[in-house]
Amino acid sequence: MAHAVAAAPTWEAFVAPLEDANERIGRAWGQASHLHAVLDSPELREAYNASLPKVTQYWTELGQNQGLFEKYQELAASPGFQSASKTRKRIVENALRDFRLGGAELPADKKVRFAAIDDELARLHSRFSENVLDATKAYSIVVDATRIAGIPEDDLAAARKDGEDGWKFTLHAPSYLAVMQYADDRALRETLYRESVTRASEFGKPDWDNTPLIARILELRREQAALLGYPSYAEYSLVPKMADSPAQVLAFLDDLARRARPYAEKDVAQLKDFSREELHLEKLEAWDVAYASEKLRAKRYAFSDTEVKQYFPEDVVLQGLFRVVETLYGVRIAPAQAPVWHPDVRFYEVRDAAGALVGQFYVDLYARDTKRAGAWMDSAIGRRRTRAGLQTPVAYLNCNFSPPVGGKPALFTHDDVLTLFHEFGHGLHHLLTRVDELAVSGISGVEWDAVELPSQFHENFCWEWEVLRHMTRHVETGESLPRALFEKMLAAKNFQSGLAMLRQIEFSVFDMRLHAEPATARSALELLDEVRARVAVLRPPAYNRFPNNFSHIFAGGYAAGYYSYKWAEVLSADAYALFEERGVLDPEAGKLFRNEILSVGGSRPAAESFRAFRGRDPSVEALLRHSGMTAAGISP
Ligand code: ZN
């Protein structure tokens, strides 16, 4: 018998069928995780957690499969593949990199250990997030009329329970923030603050304490990095990212911290003076900061969030958002029909100028007990061209805004509107892609630290008069936002921007050092204290257990990656500066942004896309200018 020589694998016979199979499981599990995040129930949670180890095991084994790894290597080296498109070459390069990062080159015994770590980590991440949600849900306080002074009517209406006495406040963001920003009752603020910042810690129910989970997660991540020969988890985490090294990231953060610090110090000094003189708060406590800040802002700029909110009813905001998108990118957005998981969910489709379907999306805007906190975009279906034809993308947009109360439409704060534009920016990155290969279409394959570019970029439009005057209508009078109020909002935009920037830098430095430094006896909390001593200008009380609900890095994908927000903000601010130069709704600039950033997805490195759009490397100047931190301000 002749010795059979295996032919080199081809894209069509090897990569495409593998993608088919992975897409099937990815989409099925994607729906389950989506429901786990937005419609939590004991039954679903049980089913989800029962399946999670199997799904994790599948991806882990796939990522370590020696046979597949070798096939990719053969494909990459085969003569036929040398003429493949740049996009397909990048997909194969990424696959080879991910195999190495997933442990494919490890000897058999270490592979088993690597997989066991993956499995344990997946369960710990899920548990971490459930503990935060359970601890959040478990607490509420019912107060009588003597304790509600200062809280706006809309928030009181939301806190009113049918047929019951009193007002009920919880740790869910809208309810919690209403108390923290507005309640005159200082003890009520203190109570809620303490409950919130000690969630999932040793001060609560032992079953929900995330402290041991944090230690174990860090230990496992270190071991995983060591197995692959990296000096730290941070080094391992940065391999597929845009940033080169932990040192580069820390230097970037240090530089921003140095520039922001004088502004943050000024912010705090002014807040303390104001609190002492006008609010008679001798010592500014952590539970006074949001309250005093709101009062100072209202005094200095003579408007409140509540006043502004009346101009942002949901339907007008959505129409305004769609108008911006339609103008810039030449598409049309219209409501459409699809089965939904909750009556509050809406469904839309995006079509191009010729009427062809570009993509579809779900919008689930309101907070509820069964939804995890925050706002996020997720992919339901990715764009892909197969023999069967073109598969168009579908996105989920999830927020936690206040639902409609008292027969009025839902009213959004300007912050909510920013959040909506932010998430929609992610959505557009996913929906407006023109890449035909699933692995790098939309946000797939985009470096973590560049993925916030389109989202943060779109927030800028919420600060443009040209946009806002068409995106506002007073819920009672029907008037659009008065120019004078807009000017005040603009003046207030950089209110405490130094403080806000230092806070983000504090979290980013904490996250990076936590994952970059060797194991010591020092706990995560002690490291955070040390970082705060160097970076922060406001120190919280000793019982604050922020790490215990820092889900971004202990339950999400931001481990050694939280800096991405600031990193991408430099990119997004600098990108937006082109629109400031050309005109904010300039369709030509929009076309360029769509062509060079949104539509290319992960088909080329983000640094290359940025240069193609801007004609040069990113500069930090636009971000500093947008944040009010320019030489004209204070000289450090
Ligand atoms: Zn985002």
For residue 6, what is the DSSP state? P
DSSP 530-553: HHHHHH-SS---TT--GGGG-HHH
Q: CA–CA separation, 211 vs 292, rounded Å?
A: 32
Q: Which helix (H) or strand (E) holds 212?
A: helix 211-227
Report CA(574)–ligand 1 centroid distance (Å): 17
Specify the range with the lowest mean pLDDT, choosing from 58-62, 204-208, 429-433, 512-516: 58-62
Residue 72 clears pLDDT 60, i.e. is over it: yes
Tell whether the model's pLDDT for residue 161 goes beyond 90.
no
571-595 mean pLDDT = 96
Confidence of residue 521 (pLDDT cuts 50, 70, 90): confident
Residues involved in catalysis? 423
Ligand 1 centroid to residue 262 C-alpha, Å: 28
Share of the chain above pLDDT 90, in %: 87
Confidence grade of residue 271 (pLDDT, cut at 50, 70, 90): very high
**Beta bridge partners of residue 389, listed in sequence order:** 386
Distance CA 508, CA 441 (A): 28
Task: Band the pLDDT of 102: cuts 50, 70, 90.
Answer: confident
Cα separation of 50 and 470, whole Å? Answer: 49
Q: Which residues contact 324 (CB under 8 A, 6 or more apart)?
A: 461, 467, 585
| pLDDT band for position 1 (cuts 50, 70, 90) | very low
- The dihedral region occupied by 85, where left means phi > 0, alpha psi between -120 and 50, and beta the remainder, is beta
Alpha carbon of residue 356 to chain centroid: 30
pLDDT at 630: 79
Strand ranges inside 315-462, DSSP E: 331-335, 346-352, 357-366, 376-381, 384-386, 389-391, 394-401
Look at the alpha carbons of 241, 245, 246, 248 in this order and tell me if their dihedral is positive or negative.
negative
In this predicted model, which residue has the larger pLDDT, 118 or 429?
429
**pLDDT above 70 for 633:** no
* Residue 634 reports pLDDT greater than 60: no
Q: How far apart are CA 566 and CA 572, in angstroms?
A: 10
Give the Å distance between the CA of 372 and the centre of ligand 1.
Answer: 16
Segment 317-327 mean pLDDT: 97
Position 331 confidence tier, pLDDT thresholds 50, 70, 90: very high
Query: What is the Å distance from ligand 1's center to 458 Cα?
Result: 11
Contact 321, 420 (CB under 8 A): yes
- The yes-or-no verdict on residue 498 having pLDDT over 60 is yes
Name the residue among 8, 18, 114, 129 with its Cα closest to residue 61: 114
What's the gap in Å between 564 CA and the centre of ligand 1? 10
pLDDT given at position 163? 77
Name 468's Cβ contacts closer than 8 Å, sequence gap at least 6. 320, 462, 481, 486
Tens-digit pLDDT profile for residues 435-480: 999 999 999 999 989 999 999 999 999 999 999 999 999 999 999 9
Mean pLDDT of the chain: 94
Are 193 and 139 contacting, i.e. CB atoms less than 8 angstroms apart?
no
Task: Provide the percentage of residues in the chain whose pLDDT is more than 70.
Answer: 98
Distance 632 CA to ligand 1 centre (A): 30
Tell how far the Cα of 425 is from the centroid of ligand 1, in angstroms. 8
- Segment 525-552 mean pLDDT: 95
Helix (H) or strand (E) holding 140: strand 140-143
Residue 624 DSSP SS3: helix
pLDDT, tens digit, 9 for 90 and up, residues 106-119: 999 999 999 899 99
| Stated pTM of the model | 0.83
Measured CA distances, 142 to 161, 186, 237, 291 (Å): 10, 16, 45, 20
Q: Residue 534: its pLDDT value, please?
A: 93
Summarize pLDDT for 203-220 with one digit per residue, the tens.
999 999 999 999 999 999
**pLDDT band for position 60 (cuts 50, 70, 90):** confident
Compute the average pLDDT of residues 573-602: 96
In which residue are the tokens 């927030």 written? Answer: 459
Q: Which pLDDT does position 3 carry in this prediction?
A: 54
CB-count burial class (<10 Å; 0-12, 13-18, 19+) for 307: middle
* pLDDT score recorded for residue 540: 96
- How far apart CA 349 and CA 392 sit, in angstroms, is 10
- Burial call 580-608: b when 16+ CB within 10 Å, e when fewer: eeeebbbeebbebbbbbbbbbbbbbebee
Average pLDDT score over residue span 81-98: 96
Q: What is the pLDDT of residue 436?
A: 96
pLDDT band at 636, cuts 50/70/90? very low
Say how many Å lie between the CA of residue 489 and the centre of ligand 1.
23
